[in-house]
Structure 1
Amino acid sequence: MTIKHVEDYLKSVKEQIKSLELPAEKQYTNYFRGQSNANWDLVPSVFRDHLFNEHNLYYEMERNLYNEMSKLSSVIDKLVYMQHQGLPTRLLDITKNSLVALYFACITHQKCEKECTKDCKKCSDGAVYIFSELENYDKKEVDIISLLPKVKYDFGVNSFYSFVKEQLSVELSKKELERILNKEFALVKSNKNNNRVIKQDGDFFIFSNKGSYDKKIKFDVKRDENRIIIPKEYKKQLLEELDQIGINRYSLFPEPEHLAKYLKHNYVDNESEKEKVVSYEEVSVEIEGKKDYKTKVLEYIEERFPQNKALYEFIVNNDISRTKVREKLSLLGYEEIGVLDMDKFDNFIDSLEIPKNINDLVL
C-alpha cells in the first residue's frame, strides 16, 4: 500500500502488527520509530564517529550545565536531557504513538520543516519501524549500561565491574555483567519528568558497545517486513493532515522556541496566511504608563524596521507591552535577526523608565 494519507498509514500499521502473529496469551507494547531517511541505519547518534569521545561529551555537558544536570537524579535522566539538547548519546528515541513516528518520518530535520514541506523533492523516502516482541524493562540492566558514557571506551571489564559496584548498590557477578554488556540494547522506560518525552509518548533503547565497531546494530526485527515506507512526494500532505489532528512541531516540542517556529511557519511562510498576521489584534495587552511610551517605541520601530508597515500599524492601533512587540517581531520573521538586535530593543525599552507596575507586565 502506498502511504498517501494518514488513513492509509494507520491501515498499514494495523496490517503490519497483525502480520507479526504474536502469541495471543501475551500482551505486547507496540513501539514505533520514524526516520526521515529510509536508508539510515537504526544506530544511536554517538555511534556515528563520536563513541571514542563519549565520556568527554558527557562530563563536559555535566560540567557546563551543572545547575540543570544536578536536578536530575539518575544517569539515564541526564542522558535523556543531553539527547534532547542535541548531544550525541547511546539512546535511540522510540514512541508508543504511531502518529508521532509518522511525523518524524516526514520531516527532514526538526529545524528544517519549512524546507521539507515546501519542496519534498529534496527529501528522501522516510520509514517507520515497528517493534513488538521486546524484552521487559530491566532497571538493573539499564542502570549498568547507562554508566558506559562515564568511562573511556577502552575501559576494561574488570575496571568497569569495580566502577559499577562503586556507583550502584546492586548484587552483580562478573559473569552477569558480561551478559549485560553483550546485549545490543535494552528498553528504557522513561521517567515522566520531561515534557517533551510526555508529549511524544516516548521511551528509549539504550545501546551497549556490542556491534559498534561496524556501526550497524541488527535489531530483532526484519528490516523490510517490520517497516512502513513513507514516500517523499506525500510527506507535505501527511504533515498537513497530522497538523489537523494536533501532531505538529509545537505539540511534540513544547519549548517556547518551537512555538515561535511553528507560528512563523503557519502565519508567515505560507503566503495565503499573511492576512492573519496583519490582523493580530488578539495579542494586544492594555497597559498604563507614560503617555509618550508608545510614541518612543514607534519611533524606534520605524527607524529599525522601516519596511514593515504591519508592525507600525500594530503598535499604532494597540496598547502594547514589550512582550507583545517581541511576539509581533517574531511572527513577522524577525526571531532570526540576532540576539544583539533584540538586546538593543530591550535596552531601549528599559531606557524609557516605565513605572514598576508596568514592568510587571513586560519582559
Structure 2
Amino acid sequence: MKETKLESLDHLHQILEKFRKSSFYKFRGQSDKDWSLTPKAGRQGFNQVSDQDIFYHWKRRAISYLNNTNYNEWELLSIAQHTGLPTRLLDWTHTPLVAFFFAASENPEKDGAVFIYLTNYFVKHKEKEPFDLSTKISMYQPTTSSTRLANQYGYFTVHKDPEEPMTEKNSKGTLEKIIIPAGLKSDLIHLLNQYGVNYLSLFPDLEGLSKHLSWFSENYKFWSTNFNEEEIES
C-alpha cells in the first residue's frame, strides 16, 4: 500500500489535487495510524457474539424509535451502524475533508491516517442481503436513511468476515494511506472548521452541537475575540 506523510496544511491541498476531478475515490479517517481496516463487529471485545444475532435483537427493539417502518435490511443496518451498533459495515466517505476530520479529531497524541480506496465493485444490494454475500469485501452506496449519513456523504464497505482486516489483496481495489502527524492534528481541525467541516456539520443533532461547543471552549485561547454566537456558527 502506498503511504504518504502529510508535511503541512499546504501539503494537504497538494495531496488532494489528484482526486479533485474524480468521484470514484472513497476516503476513511482513523485517529490512530496503526489501526487496521476492521469493522467494529470484528474488533476485540465485540467479536464474541455474532453480529447477525446482535442486529436481530436491535431490529426487534429499534422499531419503536423509528419513524419509518418500511426500511429494508440494508437501510436498517446502516442506521444501526451510525448509532453505534457493532456491525460488519465500515464507514467511508465521498468527501476527503470529512475523512481528514475523523483522522484528526481524536487521539491527539497519536499519528492518524486517511485511507483512500478505489474500486468499481459495488454490492448488488437489490439482489443480495447483507448476511448473504459471497465476496469478501464489497462497496455499498446507502440511501440517506439518517441525517448523519447524509451530512457525512457516507458509503460503506461490507465485510463477509468482520474479523478479517481489509487489504488490497481482499478488497478488489487499490488502497493508499496518508499519515497525519500528531503535531498537525490541532491545526488541521481548525482549518477544517473554517471550511465548514466540524462536529456540528457532521453530527446535525444535539450530540454534534454539544461536541462542537465543547471543542470551541477547549480551544478558547485560539480565538482572537471573545466567545460569542456569531463566532461559534462561523
Give the TM-score normalised by structure 1.
Answer: 0.54
Give the C-alpha shift of residue 5 in structure 1: 4.1
Residue 134 in 1 paired to residue 137 in 2? no
Residue 46 in 1 paired to residue 41 in 2? yes
Give the C-alpha shift of residue 251 in structure 1: 0.6
- Structure 1 unaligned runs (5+)? 19-26, 109-115, 149-176, 283-330, 332-363
Q: Where has structure 1 moved over 6 Å in runs of 4 or more?
A: none
- Structure 2 unaligned runs (5+)? none
Structure 1 residues 103, 28: closer, same or farther in 2, change over 3 A? Answer: closer
Give the TM-score normalised by structure 2.
Answer: 0.81
CA distance in 1, matches of 2:54, 2:123: 27
Rg bigger for which structure?
1
1:47-82 CA-partner distances (Å, limit 9, x unpaired): 114343323321222233222346351111111111
Residue 30 in 1 paired to residue 25 in 2? yes
CA distance in 2, matches of 1:93, 1:140: 20
CA distance in 2, matches of 1:264, 1:48: 29
Give the C-alpha shift of residue 264 in structure 1: 3.0
Corresponding residue number in structure 2 for 1:103: 101
Q: State whether residues 121 and 139 of structure 2, in contact with CA within 8 Å, keep that contact through their aligned partners in structure 1.
A: yes
CA distance in 2, matches of 1:103, 1:83: 19
Q: State whether residues 105 and 230 of structure 1, in contact with CA within 8 Å, keep that contact through their aligned partners in structure 2.
A: yes
Give the C-alpha shift of residue 33 in structure 1: 0.9
CA distance in 2, matches of 1:140, 1:271: 49
Structure 1 residues 47, 104: closer, same or farther in 2, change over 3 A? Answer: same
Which protein has the bigger strand share? 2
Q: State whether residues 105 and 128 of structure 1, in contact with CA within 8 Å, keep that contact through their aligned partners in structure 2.
A: yes
RMSD across aligned positions (CA): 2.9
Q: State whether residues 26 and 117 of structure 2, in contact with CA within 8 Å, keep that contact through their aligned partners in structure 1.
A: yes
Query: How many residues in Structure 1 have an aligned counterpart in Structure 2?
Result: 220
Which protein has the bigger helix share? 1
1:194-249 CA-partner distances (Å, limit 9, x unpaired): 1111111111111113xx56x333234565xx111111110001001111111111
Give the C-alpha shift of residue 28 in structure 1: 5.9
CA distance in 2, matches of 1:238, 1:46: 30
Give the C-alpha shift of residue 192 in structure 1: 2.0
Match of 2:219 among 259, 270, 279: 270
1:160-184 CA-partner distances (Å, limit 9, x unpaired): xxxxxxxxxxxxxxxxx7xx42x11
Structure 1 residues 14, 274: closer, same or farther in 2, change over 3 A? Answer: closer
Q: Identity rate of aligned residues, in percent? A: 27
Corresponding residue number in structure 1 for 2:60: 63
Residue 236 in 1 paired to residue 186 in 2? yes
Q: Which has the higher contact order (CA 8 A, sep 6+)?
A: 2
Corresponding residue number in structure 2 for 1:9: 12
